[in-house]
Amino acid sequence: MSNRCDKKEKDFMAYCDDLLSRLDSTDIKVFEGLVTRAIIAKCKIESAFFELAESIFEISTTKLYKVKNKTFAEFCEEELGFSLQPIYIYIEYSQID
């Protein structure tokens, strides 16, 4: 069985080597462009997540959820579509400096 695994691993490594040898400058530029887009998207997500966390914290501490809901849990579920567990994680996150 080990020999069969070794052969599959060698075949896979040969496939990877072949694939890498066929990369050209266009592939590298496409790759770099996609990595840049991914990093920008990651930054936007982190920023939006922090904004969400701060907003939820403010709504919770000022009890503004009572404008439309009886409880904070009801607000979280009906307005945000989240249960309390992730919301408390977000609130905790908003307190990190």
**DSSP letters of 3-50?**
HHHHHHHHHHHHHHHHHHHT--HHHHHHHHHHHHHHHHHHHHHHHHHH
pLDDT value of residue 2: 54
pTM of the complete model? 0.61
pLDDT value of residue 76: 94
- pLDDT tens-digit profile, the chain (97 residues): 556 667 777 887 787 777 777 777 787 888 889 999 999 999 999 899 889 989 999 999 999 999 999 999 999 999 999 999 988 888 887 777 6
